[in-house]
Structure 1
């Protein structure tokens, strides 16, 4: 009887251990803290580009998009690092920076591959 009790307890401990290991392996879907709408203001500090441009960016699961005929290759990491290239026709503007969970962010940009060379900074505020 004592041996049977030991076997049952051992089996219970093994099941508990395996159950916990399986639970640790399950992926938990956590909402991305940077998802939503952001208002971006880009300032030009060099080159013939517009001195200030504002636009809206939507972030979903770390991927960024801009409504209209503008593409974004890249996005935001889980820690808030922004690394992307905005593409409109032959014009490309690599951007880098950081978003904060409090709903703000900033970084730099520069044009490449187009007819003009410009660079500057950008700031972001969560708008939704």
Structure 2
């Protein structure tokens, strides 16, 4: 799966989700029930981005980071109720992510801005 064809378009999720997801919580970070390794599938519904991507995302203390080799800037978090809100960028490309985690799964939407505009949905599954 190519990560950077639309910012690696959906690649920004994940993060996400990324997907996803990484603004530091207040001073004392506390473990979140959503902490762990997540596999995030990103699907493009509109725009000229690759059809689907799958990424590793690591959530720690409610913050998320991309678990792969590419370099993304992630700004967001997973709230204690599972609400996900984030933006992920690389260069001039950016993806805005929203959704919800519940138990060991999650889902939401994403859209890019910048060079190529795309949008779609994401699904997440907790791996550990």
TM-score by length of 2: 0.73
1:105 maps to which residue? 106
* Distance in 2, Cα, partners of 1:125 & 1:46: 23
* Distance in 1, Cα, partners of 2:99 & 2:106: 7
Pairwise CA RMSD? 1.3
2:71 paired with 1:69: yes
Displacement, 1:31?
Answer: 3.2
Q: Which has the larger radius of gyration?
A: 1
Displacement, 1:87?
Answer: 1.0
* Distance in 1, Cα, partners of 2:88 & 2:101: 17
* Distance in 2, Cα, partners of 1:82 & 1:31: 16
The CA deviation string for residues 52-72 of structure 1, in whole angstroms up to 9 with x for no partner, is: 011011001111100330121
Local SS of the residue matching 2:32:
coil
Local SS of the residue matching 1:44:
strand
2:31 maps to which residue? 31
1:34–1:69 CA distance, 2 compared to 1 (3 A): same
Structure with the higher helix share, 1 or 2: 1
Return the structure number with greater relative CO, CA threshold 8 A, min gap 6.
Answer: 2
Unaligned runs of 5+ in 2: 1-28
* Distance in 2, Cα, partners of 1:64 & 1:42: 16
1:1-128 map, 5 Å: 31-67=31-67, 68-101=70-103, 103-112=104-113, 114-128=114-128
Segments of 4+ moved more than 4 angstroms: none
Displacement, 1:98?
Answer: 0.1
Displacement, 1:127?
Answer: 1.0
